[in-house]
A and B are shown apart, each in its own frame.
Chain A
Amino acid sequence: MTDLTTLPGAVPDHRQRSPLHFAWRRFVANKAAVVGGAVLILLILMAVFAPLITKSPPTAQDFLGEALAFPSAGHWFGVDDLGRDFFSRIVYGARVSLSIGFSAAVFSVLIGIPLGALAGYYEGRIDWIVMRIIEIFSVVPPLLAAMLLGALVGGGYWMIIFIAGLFGWVQVCLLVRAQIKAFKEKEFVRAAQALGASPGYIIRRHLIPNSVSPIIVGFVLAIPLAMMLEASLSFLGVGVPPPTPSWGQMINTGMSFMYFYWHLAVFPTLALAVTVMATTLFGDGLRDALDPTLKGK
C-alpha cells in the first residue's frame, strides 16, 4: 500500500442518527397519530385483559331480570336485551375486532409481499398478470364481494379473516411493487447483479428490507379496513355469528331498540368509531413518518 493512510477526520464519532430516529421524531410531532397510537394500545390492553376488567363473560345471560337496563354503577354500559352485561360485550367485542384486524393484516402482508416483489422485480408478464388480478379486485368492491363470499360460506370468524385478507393484500402488494420497482433500478441492485447474486437473494436481502416502510404502513392500514369489513358484514348478518360479541352485530341489534334503549346503539357505535379512527390515525402518522413522500397517497 502506498501513502494512503487513514484520512484526517476519518476517526469515527458515535453520534449515530439512524433514519428511524428521524422517523420517530416526525411521528411524535404528529399529535393525532400519537393519540391514535395511545388509544390503540389502550384498546389492545383492554382486549388482552378483558377477563380482569369485566364482571361476567360476554355470553353469560346472568342478568335476565335486568334485561335492557340503562347504564348504572353496577352495569357501566347497561344490560342488553338478552340479559348480558353490555360493558362485557363491548370489551370482548374489542377482542374480536382487533384480532380479526391484526390477523387479516398478517394475511394481507403474507400475500401482498411476495406478489408485489415478483411483479415489481420481474415486470413483464408476471407484472401484467398481477396487475390484471388487482384490476379485477378493484372493479369488484370488497364489501359486495365479501357479502357474496360471506353468504357463500356462512360467515364465521376465520372466514372473515380470510375474506379481509383476500381484499387487503392489494394495497400491500401495490405499495411493495412500487417500492421494489423504484429500488431495483438503483445501482446497489445492479452491483449485486454484477456479483452474480440470484434474484431470490436480491429480493430477500436487498429489496424487501428496503421496503419495510411500505410494508409496515400497508400492514397497519390493513387493520382498520379489516375491522370495518368485519363490522359491516356482522351488521348485515353475514359476519361473525352470535353469540360471539361483535360490534357490527350489536349495532344491528341496537338499531331496533334505539328509540327507547339508546345505550344498545350508542356504545357499540362509539366503540367501533373510536377503534377504527385511532388505528387509521396511527397508521397515517406512521406512513407520514416512515416515508414522507407517500403522504396523502
Chain B
Amino acid sequence: MTAALELRGLCKSYPLRDPNGWLPRYRELRVVRDVDLTVESNSIVGLVGESGSGKTTTGMMALRLTEPTAGRILVGGQDITRMEAAALKPFRAKMQVVFQDSYSALDPMFTLAQIVAEPLHVHGRGSAREQTETALDWLERVGLHRSYGSRYPHELSGGQRQRVAIARALVLRPDVLIADEPTSALDVSVKAQIINLLQDLQAEMGLSILFISHDLSVVRSLTDKVAVMFNGRIVEEAATEDIFIRPQHPYTRSLLDAIPVLNPRDRRDRVFRSREDLEADIPRLSAVATGLPPAPTPRLIPHGPGHRYEALVQ
C-alpha cells in the first residue's frame, strides 16, 4: 500500500542578506535539511523538536505553501513537487491543514457556515445550498450546534474555533491532515477534548495525520510513530513507544528529560544540556563493529525495526 504522504530529501534554505555590504550579498540559512519522512495511510505521525527546528517549515512544504529548495513531495504516491496550480488543485483537496492559532485561522468576516463551506465552494462540490448543508452537518459533527452557522469567529472560545478549523480541514474528506500544534494554545481540558475529537475522526475516516507538536505527552498518547527534529534535520525516528523507552540520540534524550515529572525521585539523573553541547555530541559508531561503510558526515543509521537515528560512522 502506498504511503499517504512521503517527503524525500526535503530541503529549505532562505537567502540571508548581509547588511553591511556595499552590494547586496547573501548567504544561505538552511532551515530544513534533507528530511525524509513517511506518513503511512491511516496512521498518526508525530513531528517533535524544539522551537525553530523547522517543523512548521516542513509542514508548509508538504502542503506546497512554501516552496522547497530541494527534495520531493509525494501524495498517495504521486509527485506533486513541481505541479502547477491547476494540476495541484485535486491534490490540495487530499491534504488539509489545522493551525495552532485558531483566532487568525478563521476569516473574521466570514460566518462559521461560510468558513466550513468554503473548501466545497473552492472545489465546486455541490450547489450553494448543499454546501451550506454539509457545512452545518460538519459543525454538528465537531460538536457545535447547527445554529452556530450564522455566528462569527470572534464570538467563540479558542476550543470552539479549533473545532471549526478542524471541520473546515475535513469537509473535503482529505487523506492527509497536517496539524501544526493544534492544541498548544488551549488549556488542558479543552486540549483533551480536541485530541479526542481528532482521534475519533481519524479512526472514523481512516485519516493520516502529521501531528506537529511540542507536547510530548500528547504525542505519546496520540501517535503511532515519532520523528524528532533538531536544527532542521530529523535526528531520530521510531515507533512511539520505542522512542520513549529506548531513545538513542542525545537530543532525543534531552528532549525526553525535559518532560516535567511529578515524582521528584524520578528527576535524579536529569541533565539540561546546551544546544552547542548537543550539537557537538554526535553519536559515533565504529565502522568495523557495525559493518557500515564509514562516511564523513552523520547520517541515519538503522537501529532495530523502524528505528533510525543519526550517527557518524568512522
Q: Which residues of A contact B (CB under 8 A)?
A: 1-2, 4-7, 10-12, 16-19, 186-188, 190-198, 201, 206, 209-210
Contact B140 A191 (CB under 8 A): no
Instruction: From known contacts A12-B148, A12-B151, A201-B122, infer whether A191 and B143 are also in contact, taking CB-CB under 8 Å.
Output: no
Q: How large is the interface on B (under 10, 10 to 19, 20 to 34, 35 or more residues)?
A: 35 or more
* A10 and B156 alpha carbons, distance in the complex (Å): 10
Contact A12 B200 (CB under 8 A): no
B contact face: mostly helix, strand, loop, or mixed = helix
Contact A194 B154 (CB under 8 A): no
Q: Which residues of B contact A (CB under 8 A)?
A: 60, 63, 65, 85, 88-89, 92-93, 95-97, 99, 101, 104-109, 118-119, 122-123, 140-145, 147-148, 151-152, 154-155, 160, 165, 168-169, 172, 196-197, 200, 204
Q: Which of A5, A194, A201 contacts B65 (CB 8 A)?
A: A194
Q: List the 8 closest pairs (A to B, CB-CB), nearest first.
A: A196-B92, A187-B105, A196-B89, A187-B99, A186-B104, A209-B109, A188-B107, A195-B122
* A196 and B145 alpha carbons, distance in the complex (Å): 28
Instruction: From known contacts A190-B97, A193-B65, infer whether A10 and B143 are also in contact, taking CB-CB under 8 Å.
Output: yes
CB distance from A93 to the nearest CB of B (A): 40
Q: Which of B123, B152, B155, B168 contacts A191 (CB 8 A)?
A: B168
Contact A188 B104 (CB under 8 A): yes
CB distance from A183 to the nearest CB of B (A): 9
* A196 and B172 alpha carbons, distance in the complex (Å): 12
CB distance from A187 to the nearest CB of B (A): 4
- Residues of B within 8 Å of A6, CB to CB, are 140, 143-145
A210's nearest neighbour on chain B, judged by CB, is B109
CB distance from B45 to the nearest CB of A (A): 19
Contact B200 A4 (CB under 8 A): yes
- Residues of B within 8 Å of A190, CB to CB, are 60, 65, 97, 99
A199's nearest neighbour on chain B, judged by CB, is B85
* A4 and B200 alpha carbons, distance in the complex (Å): 9
* A5 and B196 alpha carbons, distance in the complex (Å): 13
CB distance from A16 to the nearest CB of B (A): 7
Most buried by A among B93, B101, B109: B109
Contact B197 A196 (CB under 8 A): no
* A175 and B196 alpha carbons, distance in the complex (Å): 43
A contact face: mostly helix, strand, loop, or mixed = loop
CB distance from A190 to the nearest CB of B (A): 6
7 extra interchain contacts, Cβ-Cβ under 8 A, other than A4-B197, A210-B107?
Answer: A6-B140, A6-B144, A16-B151, A187-B105, A190-B99, A194-B95, A195-B123
Contact B107 A10 (CB under 8 A): no
- Residues of B within 8 Å of A195, CB to CB, are 92-93, 96, 118-119, 122-123, 172
Contact B101 A194 (CB under 8 A): no
Q: Which of B122, B141, B144 contacts A10 (CB 8 A)?
A: B144
- Residues of A within 8 Å of B151, CB to CB, are 12, 16
Contact B104 A2 (CB under 8 A): no
Contact B105 A188 (CB under 8 A): yes
Contact A192 B118 (CB under 8 A): yes
- Residues of B within 8 Å of A7, CB to CB, are 143-144
- Residues of A within 8 Å of B204, CB to CB, are 1-2
- Residues of A within 8 Å of B140, CB to CB, are 6
Q: Which of A2, A11, A16, A19 contacts B145 (CB 8 A)?
A: A11
**What are some 13 contacts across the A-B interface (CB < 8 A)?**
A1-B141, A2-B204, A19-B154, A190-B60, A191-B165, A194-B63, A194-B92, A194-B95, A195-B93, A195-B172, A197-B118, A210-B107, A210-B109
